[in-house]
Amino acid sequence: MKSPRRAISLILLVAALTACAAPPTPTPTVPPALPTVAPKPTATVAAAPTDAPVVTPTPAAPAPRDPLFDPRRISYAHHFNGPEIQALLEVRGSQLKDVRFAVGGRSQSFTDVLVSLTSLYSLSPQLLLALIDLQSGLVSNPQASSDQMAWALGYPDRGRRGLSSQLHWAARELRYAVRDYALKGSGPPAPLVFADGTRQELSADISFSRYVLARVLAPTIGPGQLGARLDGLIRRYTRLFGDPREPPTDWPAPAAPFLTRPMERNFPITSFFDHDTPFLRQNGSIATYWGRTETDIAFAYDGHTGWDYGIGPPDPVLAAGAGVVTFAGNSEDGCATPAHAVIIDHGNGYRTLYWHLDSISVEAGQPITAGTPVGVAGASGCAAGAHLHLQVQYLGRDVDPYGWCGAGADPWAQSPTGQVSVWLWRDMPSPCGPPPPGVIVVDDGGPGFRSAAGWQSSAIGYGGGAHFAAGSFAGSVARPYLAASLRPPTVAIWRPTLPQAGRYRVLAYVPYALNGLDESHELRYLIRHTGGESLAVADAETSRNWWVDLGTYEFAPGQALVSTSTLAGDDQHSIWVDAIAFVPAEDQ
Three-state DSSP string of 348-402: CCEEEEEEEEEEECCCCCCEECCCCEEEEEECCCCCCCCEEEEEEEECCEEECCE
Q: What is the structure's pLDDT at 231?
A: 97
Coil, strand or helix: which one is 253?
Answer: coil
Percent with pLDDT over 70 in the chain: 87
- Give the mean model confidence (pLDDT) for residues 350-362: 98
Average pLDDT value for the chain = 88
Contact 285, 293 (CB under 8 A): yes
Between 511 and 28, where is the model more confident?
A: 511
Q: Which residues make Cβ contacts (< 8 Å) with residue 581, sequence separation at least 6? A: 429, 435, 439, 440, 441, 506, 507, 508, 509, 547
In this model, does residue 11 exceed pLDDT 50?
A: no
Q: How sure is the predictor about 280, in pLDDT bands with cuts at 50, 70 and 90?
A: confident
Burial level of 531, CB count in 10 A (0-12/13-18/19+)?
Answer: exposed
Per-residue model confidence as pLDDT tens digits over 12-44: 333 333 333 333 333 333 333 322 223 333 333
CATH number for the domain formed by residue range(s) 440-587:
2.60.120.260
Q: What is the structure's pLDDT at 479?
A: 62
Domain boundaries, the chain: 4-30+58-76+122-241, 269-414, 440-587
Q: How sure is the predictor about 476, in pLDDT bands with cuts at 50, 70 and 90?
A: low
Per-residue model confidence as pLDDT tens digits over 147-160: 999 999 999 999 99
In this model, does residue 123 exceed pLDDT 80?
A: yes
Compute the residue count for the chain. 588
C-alpha 357/C-alpha 19 separation (Å) is: 50
Q: Which residues make Cβ contacts (< 8 Å) with residue 85, sequence separation at least 6? A: 111, 114, 115, 125, 129
In this model, does residue 555 exceed pLDDT 90?
A: yes
C-alpha 238/C-alpha 286 separation (Å) is: 39
The strand ranges marked E within 471-515 are 472-473, 491-494, 502-510
C-alpha 142/C-alpha 129 separation (Å) is: 15
Spell out the CATH class of 269-414. Answer: mainly beta
Coil, strand or helix: which one is 95?
Answer: helix
In this model, does residue 50 exceed pLDDT 90?
A: no
Specify the range with the lowest mean pLDDT, choosing from 144-158, 456-470, 569-583.
569-583
C-alpha 192/C-alpha 83 separation (Å) is: 35
> What are the backbone dihedrals phi and psi of residue 367, each rounded to the nearest 5 degrees, phi first?
-65, 150
pTM: 0.87
Coil, strand or helix: which one is 90?
Answer: helix
